[in-house]
Copies of this chain bind each other. A is one copy, B any other.
């Protein structure tokens, strides 16, 4: 408890954009998020009062950080599971706990657990460490499921990293030889990707936002359409229930995103789990009565959860992915001027990061009633802010 305010102190391991936006939400709740940053220039460290620089892989750094926190949570999933167990055994409140978080850290354990719950995912198998054995396993898998297949690093992937779509053994070989523990999955033919965003408190209260559609380019999310357009209400309800059930079965505390494939037949397959605020929920900052960041804080503090009702019929979030270096747009400050002038109703979010090519440096959110119009507006604002003009 912060003696100056009488309010609890939430510690967040990691100080990227998720911590930055969580801190923003915490300010309204009278709090100030304590962060374990990698460097003092991390996006969230630039805007927060209570920043500790340390190594999230180092148990002593984690211990020192957790010392005066009422609860510790995460901006990313890379803290070693055993350290989380150790801190919990030493009496620290950590949410989500290791027994839940491991299913967001380890894709093989997640697949096994989800299957065990009778919930559908793509066909998959774990690959042996030996490249030659793995190659034989891939060929056997392809015999049943066909090319192409998806190779995934069991731990550590994100934003398209650690995921390889391959259509031949030749293409798979460098990945199989990389030494990374892998699984192979069928490249399921899908209609589109959806996400179910839910929150759960230690008490067990659950809350679900409307199901959204996520639009990917090169494995990176570029747009989120909220709610998912033309989603039949029964499927939407099924997807929300799925999210809430997984959160309950796995004992998740905090926000969880379930990335889903909607197949051409209208089936839902679990693709990935993320146990923290997630890119698919950034639209909720202005687009829902309670944002995912406020909700994550409420959940880890075991506060009652807030209403998830949308504030507009259609909300579209577009990520700002910094343009290539050979494009020389006007300076960011000039681009902001023009974007604000042209789209006075689009909300701009910048993460305090340098504009390195391809880097996710912010997002924009647009609101309205007509999906095509709102999406075009969000897209145009995002392109202007990153490229200085329209996308090719």
Contact = CB atoms under 8 A, between A and B. Distances in A.
B307 A345 contact: yes
Contacts of A305: 340, 344
A81 B312 CA distance: 44
A298 interface: yes
Contacts of A352: 4-5, 30, 32
Contacts of A32: 46-47, 352
- Determine which residue in A30, A333, A347, A348 has the highest number of CB atoms from chain B within 10 A of its CB, and name it: A30
Contacts of A362: 30
A336 to B, nearest CB: 7
Contacts of A51: 49
Interface string A311-333: 11000000000000000000111
A46 B46 contact: no
Nearest to A308: B344
Nearest to A342: B304
A8 interface: yes
B350 A304 contact: no
A278 interface: no
Given A6-B332, A49-B48, A332-B7, A29 B303 contact: no
A20 interface: yes
A39 to B, nearest CB: 10
Contact of A289 (B7, B48, B333, B345): B345
A345 B306 CA distance: 6
Interface in A339-372: 340-341, 344-345, 347-355, 362, 367
Of the four ranges (under 10, 10 to 19, 20 to 34, 35 or more), the interface on chain A belongs to 35 or more
Given A48-B47, A289-B367, A303-B337, A5 B309 contact: no
- Determine which residue in A344, A352, A355, A367 has the highest number of CB atoms from chain B within 10 A of its CB, and name it: A344
B304 A28 contact: no
Contacts of A285: 28
A336 B294 CA distance: 14
A182 to B, nearest CB: 37
A162 B21 CA distance: 39
A306 B7 contact: no
A367 to B, nearest CB: 7
A159 interface: no
Interface in A37-73: 41, 45-49, 51
Contact of A337 (B304, B333, B341, B367): B304
A23 interface: yes
A226 to B, nearest CB: 15
Nearest to A46: B32
Contact of A309 (B45, B303, B304, B345): B345
A27 interface: yes
Contact of A303 (B8, B306, B331, B340): B340
A28 B348 contact: yes
A271 interface: no
B298 A340 contact: yes
Interface string A280-304: 0000011001100000001000011
B24 A350 contact: no
B46 A304 contact: no
A1 to B, nearest CB: 8
User: Nearest 6 pairs between A and B by C-beta?
Assistant: A30-B350, A304-B341, A307-B345, A304-B340, A32-B47, A307-B344
Given A4-B46, A26-B47, A48-B49, 7 more contacts: A6-B355, A24-B24, A24-B28, A28-B349, A28-B350, A32-B46, A289-B345
